[in-house]
Structures are given as structure tokens and as C-alpha cells.
Structure 1
């Protein structure tokens, strides 16, 4: 079933050292970076996912790509499917008994798999949001704050869901960095039931 909800626009956040120097859409950030007069190196991140991006300020097309070494997002359709409906064919490896069960379901294997995935995504939405928030904060922290005091302990606190300890450990970190980490990790503190 295709999603009628468009993907949110990509917003970028840029840090030179530990200071935020730009924030906004790709076009806004391009304009802000082109106006810079200093040559301090900077890092460009996806504001929501914390992913480090390759960003060429001289790139007139205004495109961004994941930085080398960053996890790839392979959203390109492969093989057959129903592209007009948003259905993409991919390979799934299951045991014969799983295929037998799927094929006995109303509508066949594809319908059963889509229904199972939809149900699981609905049931696990809160847990997925917590995990995504923590992973975004971790990606950002690793790229920019790995040399700061308390980094390893802050990482442990983040994944342990210990908000007060995490906040205490990053309290001495530069304000722009700390503020963005608090924003990225905000959804990571509510533990689903």
C-alpha cells in the first residue's frame, strides 16, 4: 500500500568545531555556507537522523549524499513489482514451512507479508521511535564529540536510557552541541511498555 504522506523535507545542520553555523533546507544551508568568510572546516548533518553528509558548497545542484563510511540507504527499486503503486519486489529468504504457511493465507504470501509488516510496524512504533532517536544521537555524537570528556559514558547512558546521567555527562559540552544532542535524543527517553 503506497504512502500518501510525503517524506519530510531534508533539513541540514552545520557545525564548525562545536559551534552551529547553519541550519535549514539544503538551499538555505548552501546560501549560508557560501556567505562564510572564514575557512574553518565544517561538518554537515541531516538534522533529524544525525547522519554525517558529504556536502560540497560549490555544488550548484545542491545535492547531498551520505558521507563515505555512513550506512547506505538503498531505496532504489530492484527487479519487478508494481512501481506505480509503490510496490517493490525484493528477495525474502524463508524456510519451507514459513512459505507453506504464507501461501495458505488469504491473498497469498505477498498479502500476508504486507499485513504482518504493517501490524508489526504499528505495534512497535514507540519502540522504533526510541531506537531511532538514540541511533540519531549516537551517529551525531560519534562524528563530532568522540574526543570530548565523558563521551563513552554518555554513549552508555544514551543506550541504557538513563536520561539524567546522559544529561549530566554532556552538561559541560559546548552549548550548540549539547542542544542538538538533547533534541536528537528527546524521543529516546520514553521506554515503551
Structure 2
């Protein structure tokens, strides 16, 4: 019997969540995009307002459902819904953000209960513009927050990059977390 797994992608607007899911998905991605109507329109024309959904079909017959959260705080009601029964969180950050460490703190704080029950990996996009120092700063901050420094530069457009990120997340899952006493 094939198993079905669920992963969640979160992060600020423009970090590459939708693109990452498109890179990994073996089906046409279901997207809930709307025209950006606030300061987001300076970053991009449209934004996710509910979720993105894709599906990876593994050689074993297992499936991994991929859910992308909206990046804007005003849609945070979707965050709890989408993380329910998920294995872990892929946090996408923009390396060229004015303050990627502040972005990290914001999303780790918002998702902390979920992260503590599951696993976290951080993918840093636009790292060519942010420099290698961004990954170093993010990794140090993860350690300061009591989390493994699992952060890597990634290209959300690359299936291979995103598969490596997902593998890192899965390798970080503690099989004894939430085990019966």
C-alpha cells in the first residue's frame, strides 16, 4: 500500500514557494493567485492568497503532497490549516531581502509549535544577490533559536535543488518525536 506524505512550504512573498512547488510537482500545480493590491505589487504582479498544491510521485509508489502557504501575514489563517498532519516545513527565504534573519525569526516564531513537533529546513533563494554571508547568518540564528542549522542556498526553479532541500528535511525528521511513552 502506497503511503501519502505532506510537506509545507512557507516564507515571505517572493521567496520562491510557488516556483519550488512547480519544480517538484508531477502534476499541474493548483494555484490561488490574485493580483497584488498592496506593497507586494512592487515585488511581483500576483500573490498566493490561499495555497499552492502540487504532488510528487515517488518511484516506490508513495506520494508527497506539497502545500505552499501565502506569504502575507493577512492570510496567516491558512498556515494552521495547511500544516495539519504535515511532516515538516520548508522555509523559503530571499537572500536579497533587506533582513533575511528578521524574516527567519518571523516565520520560525509563527510556525514554532509546528517546527518543534516536526522538522525544518531553510532554502535561501536569490543567494547570488545576498552573498554566502546570508546563509552563514541564517545558520547562526537557527542555532541561537535552538534549531539545527539546516540552511542551504537553493534555486527554486531547479528540481534537483528542491529535491535536495526536501531530502534534507526528511533526514531531519526525528522518528521518535511524538512516540508513545
TM, length-normalised to structure 1? 0.21
More helix by share: 1
Could you say which structure has the greater relative contact order, defined with CA pairs below 8 angstroms and 6 or more residues apart?
2
TM, length-normalised to structure 2? 0.21
More strand by share: 2
